[in-house]
A and B are shown apart, each in its own frame.
Chain A
Amino acid sequence: MKARFSINSRNLPTLFTLGLFVIMFAVGSLSFPGFLSPQNFLNLFIDNSYLLILGVGMTFVIISGGIDLSVGSVLAFSTMLSSSLLEKSHWDPLLVIPVVLLAGVALGLFMGYIIQAFDLPPFIITLAGLYLARGLCYVVSIDTIGISNQFWQDAAHAQWNVIGQNFISPSVVIGAVVVIAGVFISRSTKFGRTVYAIGGNEQSAILMGLPVARTKVMIYGLSGFCSALAGIVFTFYTLSGYALNGKGMEMDAIATVVIGGTLLTGGVGGVFGTVFGVLVYGTIQILIVFQGTLNSWWTRIAIGFLVFLFCLLQRVFESRKVGKAKKPEAKVPAKSPS
């Protein structure tokens, strides 16, 4: 009995988010006619796939005990870079995509290297990355760059039918692939498990002989990759590059990860949770749209409230767990015995 509870307890925050999503969707369905439809559900993924992709990268960063504030700016930079390469330099789309992704990875690895090599707080270094990438956007162009490239146009307008007349977009497929890859990496690769170990106790991870330094750098590289990919997906919506894209989006990404049950202190959480975090986020948005009279800023208020709630829940959850474990406080830092 005790054992069963405990296995579940690891997934408890995620289950809570799932429950929250189901309740919110049910409330919407009961309150608004037309809310409960397969397409409305699929729209959640269509409208938020870029956020989902950012969230997957951010999940790894946060599980490792770090934070990446640069993701919104890197997303903006990759919209600028791809639109500029496509429209001004007339590059082939199949070349643009890898170049943009590489740029994101390079920036992420660079930040990761600085964080690791000089033992600097991720908060500050990725804040610097935030400014750097945002500034680079204006180096590419001050004005909006519209994208008329055929490949992009196709990607933007394609609708693939699933379940009857309901459709998804290519972005959804990309998002799904990223989620599946994220789940696989986090659960079944040495890299993924090392990320958890670092988040649990970095010093122990080093003493256990894990490649902590390399992994930490790679985590930010992975987040950079996700940011760049999210930028490309973002241009599938907007068909333009604009230097002010994704302002404050790093906070949305962090919020969805936290709502998804990943601990900001690191070590606990997962990619699946983030998927539900994004779904909750999206549902709040469409609830407000359906409601009609509320300003869209209410989304922010609702998200803010949820983040508070989840942090509180995590604390309650943690203290319960500590209470269960056998008296860790007996290990008083008795310092060097006399």
Chain B
Amino acid sequence: MSDKAPIVEMRKISKTFPGVRALSDVDFRLYMGEVHAIMGQNGAGKSTLVKVLTGVYKQDSGEVLLEGKPIKPDSPLAAQKLGINTVYQEVNLCLNLSVAENIFIGKEPMKLGRIDWKTMNRKAAEVLARLNITVDVTRTLSSYSIAVQQMVAIARVLDSSAKVLILDEPTSSLDDSEVEQLFKVIRKLRDEGLAILFITHFLDQTYQISDRITILKNGDFVGEYKTDQLPRIELITKMLGKELSEFSYSTNNEDKAKASAKARKDISAVLQVKNLGLEGSIEPFDLDLYQGDVLGLAGLLGSGRTETARLLFGIDSADQGDIFIKGKKSSISSPRHAMMAGIGFCSEDRKNEGIFAELSIRENIILALQARRGVLKYISMKKQLEIAEDLIKSLGIKTPSAASEAKQLSGGNQQKVMLARWLATNPIVLILDEPTRGIDVGAKLEIMEQILNLSREGLGVIFISSEFEEVLRCSTKISVLKDKAMIAELNGEEMTESGIMRTIAGGR
């Protein structure tokens, strides 16, 4: 394979966005007849690299070669014309048109100045047959499953000029048998000589389908490996950028475990979850959270951490399972229900889903409490200020006054305001999704300190972070997620970085 020249070669690609160096001198090679996976954590630069290849972004430096010739596609369409086609997770087709039309629209066979529907339908059936799909091509696309729609999207780009096929998270909405079907098609196309770039967060799938893996980390090129020569544990350590031997035991977690075990005897569970799940989002899981527990959710990007939080807070409605709060069964079908039941949730996307930048700190803090009490039960300004001042002091929010606009605060302090908002409602359980993202180290430590304080006061906390270190530092126990499923719970001495990674690498 490697004695041939690569069909796509990206050399020393760099791309900087305001404030972020997304890619620095990244190399990437794609050969005909191979499936190549790009792996990396959040912010590794995977999608930026792919977007440079497909013409969405223009690189600052470096060059892209297609069959040895430099190319500069300035749009996805231009890339398509060069033979670089992308099929996205959300299928970009028209559901209202027929299957055949979705394959051929824009390049319909014409006869006597009109669209030749007969030929089009026949050809469409032929193309799909090549992918082992037999469907009625005259029916509207909306009558078929996402899996079939994806096949149709692939069929659309499979005309003679296709050289490179990029599959962007194609399996996220598919069930196991559909994934198998898709993989069959991918293997077939690979054997026919197509170069396939496969992007996924699923580790198992990467090993099932890919021939070669390129790993990126923080915009840097880590390496290119043959899949069968790269053990899983190595892949994970390379993605995280550490060697296994470097991992230290987190401090005093034995104490923590003991403390929580002792506490458990006389304290009942505040949150229990039985078999909660949502098809296509997260597989059913159980969960027990006791007063004073900090449950860490650890997993790689796309493992289902945020999805778990979204289910617990009612942003997505589970299609099975039960949630018990303080032993009482609660139906949580919206964030409002969750809030009323005593659950608080700090979103990972602080800027868009959390802080109201234009409002004052006091208003930001009072929001959830006011919402919980209802619009009619006005909280007096004096009381509001009292609550806000209290929380500002206890959480150590650095601000000249409670009346300052939230946008004037640093990221860490905004995060504390989010914490304060939920603490004002006296929650039973607080879910923190990436509370330390995008804030400086000092602020991170402070936030984690606050979380531990809160748990000591009896709050149940669910802590989500992509940094295993942070999860370890904060948590009294850890649930490990992988490929949209909770695969293990780690307690006491098992709670180490290498323990988490071995669990993830161990497969299901």
Which residues of chain B are near A336, meaning CB under 8 Å?
306, 349
Q: Are B94 and A197 in contact (CB-based, < 8 A)?
A: yes
Interface membership of chain B positions 280-318, coded 1 if the CB is closer than 8 angstroms to chain A and 0 otherwise: 110000000000000000010111111100100000100
**B306 engages A184 (CB within 8 Å):** no
User: By the criterion CB–CB under 8 Å, are B94 and A7 in contact?
Assistant: no
Q: Which of B141-149, B365-373, B407-415 makes up part of the contact surface?
A: B141-149
* Any A CB within 8 A of the CB of B403: no
Contact A207 B92 (CB under 8 A): yes
Quick check: B105 and A7 within 8 Å, CB to CB?
no
Q: Is B114 in contact with chain A by the CB < 8 A criterion?
A: yes
Q: Is the CB of B280 within 8 A of A201?
A: no
Question: B9 an interface residue at 8 Å Cβ cutoff?
Answer: no
Q: Which residues of A contact B95 (CB under 8 A)?
A: 200-201, 267
How distant is A11 from chain B, measured CB to nearest CB, in Å?
Answer: 12
**CB-CB nearest in chain A for B310:** A334
Please report A residues at the B interface, Cβ cutoff 8 Å.
3, 6-7, 10, 184, 187-190, 193-194, 196-197, 199-201, 203-205, 207-210, 267-268, 321-322, 324-328, 330-332, 334-338
Q: List 7 A-B contacts (CB under 8 A).
A: A10-B140, A189-B114, A190-B108, A201-B94, A203-B92, A207-B77, A209-B106
Residues facing A in B83-103 (CB within 8 A) are 90, 92-97, 101
In the complex the two chains form, what is the Cα distance from A209 to B82 in whole Å?
Answer: 13
Contacts of B144 in A (CB 8 A): 325-326
**Closest chain B residue, CB of each to CB of A199:** B96
Bound complex: CA A336 to CA B143 (Å) = 27
Do A338 and B466 have beta carbons less than 8 Å apart? yes
Q: Is the CB of B96 within 8 A of A338?
A: no
Asked whether B281 lies within 8 Å of A193 as measured between CB atoms, the reply is no
Give 1 or 0 for each of B131-167: 1 = CB within 8 Å of chain A CB. Answer: 0000010111011111000000000100000000000
Known: A200-B96, A210-B105. A335 touches B143 (CB 8 A): no
Specify the chain A residue showing the minimal Cβ separation from B304.
A337
Give the CA-CA distance A65 to B173 in the complex, in Å. Answer: 28
A119 to B118 alpha-carbon distance, docked (Å): 37
> Which residues of the other chain, B, contact A196 by a CB distance below 8 angstroms?
94, 96-97
Q: Are A335 and B349 in contact (CB under 8 A)?
A: yes
Query: By the criterion CB–CB under 8 Å, are A190 and B115 in contact?
Result: yes
B424 CB, min distance to chain A CBs, angstroms: 25
B42, B145, B310: the one within 8 Å of A325 (CB): B145
Could you say which of B76, B145, B316 contacts A207, with CB atoms under 8 Å apart?
B76
Say if the beta carbon of B497 comes within 8 Å of chain A.
no
A185 closest partner in B (C-beta): B114
Q: When the two chains form their complex, are residues A7 and B138 in contact, meaning their CB atoms are under 8 A apart? A: yes
B315 and chain A: residue at smallest CB distance: A332
Return the chain B residue nearest A188 by Cβ. B114
> Using Cβ atoms and an 8 Å threshold, which residues of chain B touch A325?
142-145
Q: How far is the CB of B346 from chain A (nearest CB, A)?
A: 13
Whether a CB of chain A sits under 8 angstroms from the CB of B433 is yes
Q: Chain A nearest CB: distance from B24 CB in Å?
A: 22
Q: Does B279 contact A (CB under 8 A)?
A: yes
Please determine whether A330 and B115 come into contact, CB atoms closer than 8 angstroms.
Answer: no
Shortest CB–CB separation between residue B152 and chain A, in angstroms?
Answer: 12
Asked whether B201 is an interface residue with its Cβ less than 8 Å from the other chain, the reply is yes
Check if A330 sits within 8 Å of B279, measured CB to CB. Answer: yes
Q: How far is the CA of A135 from the CA of B121 in the complex (A)?
A: 50
A residues near B93, Cβ cutoff 8 Å: 201, 204, 208
Shortest CB-to-CB span from A312 to chain B, Å, is: 20
Q: Establish whether residues B143 and A6, one from each chain, have CB atoms under 8 Å apart when the complex forms.
A: yes
Known contacts A6-B139, A325-B143, A200 near B77 by CB under 8 Å: no
- The smallest C-beta distance from A222 to any residue of chain B, in angstroms, reads 18
Q: Quick check: A332 and B316 within 8 Å, CB to CB?
A: yes
> How far apart sit A10 and B117, CA to CA, in the bound complex (Å)?
17
Residue pair A208, B156 in contact (C-beta under 8 Å)? yes
> Would you give the 0/1 interface string for B448-486, flagging 1 where the beta carbon is closer than 8 Å to chain A?
000000000000000010100000000000000000000
Q: Which residues of A contact B244 (CB under 8 A)?
A: none
Give the shortest distance, in Å, between A251 (CB) and chain B (any CB): 25
Q: Please tell me if the beta carbons of B96 and A324 are within 8 angstroms of each other in the complex.
A: no
CA distance A190 to B101 in the complex (A): 11
Give the residues in chain B near A194, CB-CB below 8 Å.
105-106
Is B436 an interface residue when CB atoms closer than 8 A count as contact?
no
Interface flags, B237-270, vs A, CB<8A=1, else 0: 0000000000000000000000000000000000
Which residues of the partner chain A approach B305 to less than 8 Å between Cβ atoms? 337-338
With A188-B115, A193-B101, A208-B106: A338-B464 Cβ-Cβ less than 8 Å: yes
- Tell me which of A200, A210, A327 contacts B279 (CB under 8 A): A327
Q: Which 8 A-B pairs have the closest CB atoms?
A: A200-B94, A330-B280, A267-B96, A200-B96, A338-B306, A188-B114, A326-B145, A338-B305
Determine the chain A residues whose CB is within 8 A of the CB of B310 once the complex forms. 332, 334
B138–A338 touching, CB < 8 Å? no
A206 nearest in chain B by CB position: B77
Q: How far is the CB of A323 from chain B (nearest CB, A)?
A: 11
Q: Known contacts A200-B95, A324-B143, A331-B146: does B77 contact A209 (CB below 8 Å)?
A: yes
Write the nearest CB–CB distance from B450 to chain A, whole angstroms: 21
For window 170-229 of chain B, which residues contact chain A by CB distance below 8 Å?
172-173, 201
In the complex the two chains form, is A193's CB within 8 Å of B142's CB?
no
Docked CA distance A336–B281 (Å): 12
Q: Please measure, in the bound complex, the distance between the C-alpha atom of A190 and the C-alpha atom of B114, giving whole angstroms.
A: 8
- Is the beta-carbon distance between B280 and A331 smaller than 8 angstroms? yes
CB distance from A159 to the nearest CB of B (A): 34
Q: How far is the CB of B288 from chain A (nearest CB, A)?
A: 22
Q: How far is the CB of B504 from chain A (nearest CB, A)?
A: 14
Contact A338 B105 (CB under 8 A): no
Beyond A209-B77, A338-B434, whether A332 also contacts B94 by CB under 8 A is no
Give B163 Cβ to nearest chain A Cβ, in Å: 17
Q: How many whole Å from A3's CB to the nearest CB in chain B?
A: 5
- In the complex the two chains form, is A332's CB within 8 Å of B281's CB? yes
Pairwise interchain contact B280-A337, C-beta atoms closer than 8 A: no
> With A and B bound together, what is the CA distance between A326 and B173 in angstroms?
11
Min distance, Cβ B18 to any Cβ of chain A, angstroms: 19
Bound Cα distance A336, B93 (Å)? 21
Whether a CB of chain A sits under 8 angstroms from the CB of B363 is no
Residues of B within 8 A of A203 (CB): 92
Check: B425 CB closer than 8 A to any chain A CB.
no
Q: Which residues of A contact B108 (CB under 8 A)?
A: 190, 193
Residue-wise interface mask of B (103-129) relative to A, using a CB-CB cutoff of 8 A (1 in contact, 0 not): 001101000001101000000000000
Query: Do A337 and B173 have beta carbons less than 8 Å apart?
Result: no
A268 and chain B: residue at smallest CB distance: B96
CB neighbours of B434 from chain A (8 A): 338
Give chain B residues whose Cβ lies under 8 Å from the Cβ of A207.
76-77, 92
- Known A3-B139, A326-B144; 9 more pairs at CB < 8 Å: A194-B106, A200-B95, A267-B94, A325-B144, A330-B280, A334-B281, A336-B306, A336-B349, A338-B299
